[in-house]
Amino acid sequence: MYDVWQRPHPNLLSVGEIVGHVAYGEATWLLPARVGGATVSSVFIDQKFRYYLRQIADPVTLDMGAKAVAAEISRVHEEIRASILVLDPKLEDSFPGDTTISWGDRIKYMIFHVGYHTGQIYSVRHIFGHKTEDN
């Protein structure tokens, strides 16, 4: 996909920016530094991917094609997953440093978050005329 960092409209994020936001969200919501000292390093773990309102005025373009972007989000996700498995939290356990939310609630939110932004990625691809697999 040649359009990975191209925005379909000035008020819409590119596929790369959306993927960066998803990685940033997983890393900061599931592995803040206070959780067992686990961290993940990535070009996506950067404040510039934090939230749409911050991103929209400052477009991000990285020197990565679609395959590299896909590989990086997969690597980040797997590192986070492995770190959580080592911690072995119970879904009902309070998330460290936050007694108002459980591990289960954090994970449920991230499932929603990834699904929501995956839909955005498909919409951007459709705007560019890409043929996507049937989902």
Query: What is the phi/psi pair of residue 134, to 5°?
Result: -70, 125
Q: Is 97 exposed, middle or buried (0-12, 13-18, 19+ CB in 10 A)?
A: exposed
What are the C-alpha distances in Å from 82 to residues 10, 36, 38, 76, 117? 37, 12, 10, 10, 23
Q: Note whether 71 and 44 are within 8 A (CB).
A: no
pLDDT band (50, 70, 90) for residue 34: low
Q: Is the pLDDT of residue 35 over 70?
A: no
User: Residue type at 71?
Assistant: A
List CB contacts of 3: < 8 A, sequence separation 6 or more: 14, 15, 124, 125, 128, 130
pTM score of the predicted model:
0.91
Q: Where are the alpha helices (DSSP H) in the chain?
A: 15-30, 52-55, 66-87, 103-127
pLDDT tens digits, 49-99: 998 988 899 999 999 999 999 999 999 999 999 989 988 999 999 998 877
CB neighbours (10 Å) of residue 122? Answer: 15
Query: What is the phi/psi pair of residue 3, to 5°?
Result: -100, 20
